[in-house]
Amino acid sequence: MLIHRTALEVVRLCEKSEEETAPVVTHVFVDNDGRLTATNGHLCLRVKGLVKEEPNLFMADQPGVDDLSSHALPRDLVVDFLRAWEGDQIIVREDGGGTFIETVDGRTSRRFESKAVALEAPKFDSVLQKPTATVHSTLVSVELLTLLGRTLKALGATAVRLSFAEKEDAAIHLGARVEFDEEAIEGALMPMRE
């Protein structure tokens, strides 16, 4: 299966494998439709990763490009691969009991292998299903959310409550909890204009 390298960045949610860590939080799951999913048990993200355009010149004839099968990629395999490769397209495939992440660019080739894992992906669809009740949504800048997260962390916030009105461009009100006070921080976040 040919996927975009950046989709593997979803691995940032995974935890390092330890004795008592559930396998589901230590793997990136690749669906047979090219979506990559990861979770840490509290946050779940699914990313469309399948390359829909023409493969790079050197990738087109590689084995596994057209293979659309599911995989469970161990966190360490993905992290090591991302450190070693800056290219934009990669192949994920299984062969002879191993799972491979590999790429070729004409000058070098990279191939990382892990023992194939017989791990069933969790039922992420039930977690990620669209709500059936009326839901109001708004678009917020990732940079703004990152800044908010860093600032709240520096202030010692342990949780944040977000609420907003039905009006699409209304401010998102926030209240953050710190160890010593349930309502120590309050503020507003402005949505993006589309």
How confident is the model at residue 98, as a pLDDT?
Answer: 83
Beta bridge partners of residue 90, listed in sequence order: 3
Above 80 in pLDDT, residue 31? yes
Structural tokens at position 152: 């709240």
Domains detected in the chain: 2-128 (3.10.150.10), 142-189 (no CATH)
Mean pLDDT confidence for 130-148 = 79
Whether the full predicted model's pTM is greater than 0.85, yes or no, is no
Higher pLDDT pick, 168 / 160: 160
pLDDT at 8: 92
| 172-188 confidence digits (pLDDT tens) | 888 888 877 766 788 88
How does pLDDT run across 53-87, given as a tens digit for each residue? 888 877 888 888 888 888 889 999 999 999 988 88
User: Please, is 76 exposed, middle or buried when counting C-beta atoms within 10 Å of its C-beta (0-12, 13-18, 19+)?
Assistant: middle
**Residue located via tokens 């979770």:** 39
Q: How many CA atoms lie within 13 A of 181 on its CB side?
A: 8
Question: Starting from the edge strand earliest in sequence, which strands make up the sheet with 2-4, in order?
Answer: 2-4, 89-95, 98-104, 109-115
What integer pLDDT is reported at residue 131 of this predicted model?
64
pLDDT at 9: 92
Decide if pLDDT at 45 tops 80. Answer: yes
Is residue 64 within 8 A of residue 93, CB to CB? The reply is yes
More confident residue, 22 or 194: 22
In tens, the pLDDT along 79-137 reads 999 998 888 889 898 887 788 888 887 777 888 888 877 787 777 777 666 666 666 77
Which residues, including other chains, have CB under 8 Å from residue 24's CB and lie 6 or more apart? 39, 41, 119, 121, 122
Average pLDDT, the chain: 83
